[in-house]
Amino acid sequence: MLLSTVIVTGCAGFIGSHLSEQLLATGHKVIGIDNFDPFYKRDVKERNLSSFKDHPHFRFIEVDLADGEALRKSLEQETVDVIVHLAGKAGVRPSIEDPNGYIRANIVATQNILDLMKDKGIKKLAFASSSSVYGNTKETPFHEKQDVSNPISPYAFTKKACELINYTYHSLYELDIINLRFFTVFGPRQRPDLAIHKFTRLILNGEEIPMFGDGSTSRDYTYYEDTVAGIRGAISYLENNTHVYETINLGNNQPVTLSAMISAIEKATGIKANIKQLPMQPGDVDITFANIGKAQELLGYNPKYSFEEGVKNFVDWYRSVNPS
């Protein structure tokens, strides 16, 4: 017997592909949506899809979510229980160069998802927000009741704007919505532009690593298995509750400095890094640090993977898909 039907936007991406795989393995029908945004190579995303694209309970739709009419037409015949909206343009630094692209891919696309829900009677949404909304707040660990009205990058303001739009539609149309604020997710299939992936590639190729700042900035790195478990907890919570509007951190509650991150990759690869120190970049925050008490209470969330274990798993995966 099939469980609920779940739309996963961004299904060919890092988190989306892992989530789709697990939902299919546990008896759900999955409708995956992706537009293969050229932020990174299409063949990487095709590889992400390869393990489940032929699953009998998986349907793939290639469509741009910012095209509301195309989105609506692609789903005319589908009955959907839950949407997990992971798609969007990511990255703090690129958003400074292209704020309009981020507004279109994040805000306009989310607006179209919400209109689709309203028109089709879909009541449940888990939305991928970001720890970036906290900006450079000095209060740590970050908790969901903090004021997040001071974003320091276009990427961050688009995520905050989406949370606000979500609340409006929850209020007007009684949609059940959980905003999940992700904290630096990493692991196999991680985006090629992200630091752990990039640094692993550079170290293994004997190239210089650019280190922005003095190495003291820190991130609450969260292994993808823990993040996916949190998303699945959110799906379950949405399916079993009504009148829901929540914002929930999905982090690891253990920030790791940039210097310690490089050391962990050195240990996992067995190679000493050649570091080039550079100034801090505009839009970068000093620290991300999640209070995960709410996720533990509502979603049964309990991160299981240490940072070092996750880095080793990533390096092993990277070597398997990039044999020397």
Q: Report d(CA 32, CA 281) in Å as an integer.
A: 35
Output the pLDDT for position 160: 98
Q: What is the 3-state secondary structure (H, E, C) of 126-172?
A: EEEEEHHHHCCCCCCCECCCCCCCCCCCHHHHHHHHHHHHHHHHHHH
Output the pLDDT for position 53: 97
What confidence tier does 1 reach under pLDDT thresholds 50, 70, 90?
Answer: low
Output the pLDDT for position 127: 99
Q: Please tell me what DSSP assigns to residue 194.
A: S
Q: Is 155 a catalytic site residue?
A: yes
Output the pLDDT for position 263: 97
Output the pLDDT for position 130: 97
Cβ neighbours around 271 below 10 Å, total: 14
198 class by beta-carbon count within 10 Å (0-12 exposed, 13-18 middle, 19+ buried): middle
CATH code for the domain defined by 5-183+224-251+290-303: 3.40.50.720
Rg of the chain over CA atoms, in angstroms?
19
Mean pLDDT within 304-312 = 97
Q: Report d(CA 317, CA 205) in Å as an integer.
A: 16
Residue closest to 153 by CA, chosen among 93, 109, 224: 93
Residue from 102, 155, 223, 301 carrying the catalytic annotation: 155
| Domain range summary for the chain, segments of one domain joined by + | 5-183+224-251+290-303
What digits encode the pLDDT tens for the residues 278-290? 998 887 788 999 9
Output the pLDDT for position 324: 67
What digits encode the pLDDT tens for the residues 66-124? 999 999 999 999 999 999 999 999 988 899 999 999 999 999 999 999 999 999 999 99
Q: Report d(CA 251, CA 160) in Å as an integer.
A: 17
Output the pLDDT for position 3: 86
What confidence tier does 231 reach under pLDDT thresholds 50, 70, 90?
Answer: very high
Phi-psi region of 246 (alpha: psi -120 to 50; beta: other; left: phi over 0): beta
Please report, rounded to a whole number, the percentage of residues in the chain having pLDDT higher than 90. Answer: 92
* Contact residues for 143 (Cβ-Cβ < 8 A; gap 6+): 249, 291, 293, 294
Average pLDDT, the chain: 96
